[in-house]
Structure 1
């Protein structure tokens, strides 16, 4: 038996019902959320890396934990809407990663 918060369980059932009634809208919303969360996550990686390179492992580790925690919260929230929005959010995350990596490669100086 798992313990759940009553409000969280109620929100999950409401969101699942909305996602079931409008699956395309739920998937589009999940995709948009995934792109936004992925962009924030991967853009902050540059700052996180700079902290490590500056010899500041404490703040870097704290930022890394914050980044992972926020991403986990976003994906957990999207999962309350069901599998399709969660898969769309994961796809959005990968799309954002692809775009940011592509932009970073173009910005690198050619050797």
Structure 2
């Protein structure tokens, strides 16, 4: 007989708003609890207040940002080593006023 065990995990973001200064970099914190590796998962960051605009996509062990919203091009980064620890926080560089909004992470 075959028994399948599916790991249950929860995606946890910041409880408080993340504050940023225009022109500087900011980390949008997000991690998986328990701290399981998300290296083999699809990790998508969206702007939920802009009709789920794609901010960053990581899939098949690489960043795939061909469909990324143009305004984020070259400004987003996931730390691939931290993904092994369940940390999918996104670094956003050169913050702009237009970056203000609601972000969400989807991981599967």
The answer, yes or no, to whether TM exceeds 0.5 is no
Q: Which has the higher contact order (CA 8 A, sep 6+)?
A: 1
Bigger strand fraction: 2
- Shorter chain as denominator, the TM-score bin is under 0.3
TM-score w.r.t. length of structure 1 = 0.24
